[in-house]
Amino acid sequence: MIAKEESIRLIQQLPDESTLTDIIATLYFKQTVERGLEDIEEGRILPHEKVRERMAQWTKSLGH
List, for residues 37-49, the tens digit of each pLDDT value. Answer: 999 999 999 999 9
The verdict on pTM exceeding 0.75 is no
Range of the domain at 39: 2-61
In one-letter notation, the amino acid at residue 25 is A
Q: For position 1, what pLDDT does the model report? A: 82
Distance CA(43)–CA(16), nearest Å, equals 39
pLDDT digits (tens, 9 = 90+) for 10-23: 999 999 999 999 99
How many domains is the chain partitioned into structurally?
A: 1
Do 10 and 26 meet the contact criterion of CB atoms below 8 Å apart?
Answer: yes
Can you tell me the mean pLDDT for 18-41? 97
How far CA 28 is from CA of 14, 24, 48, in Å, comes to: 14, 6, 25
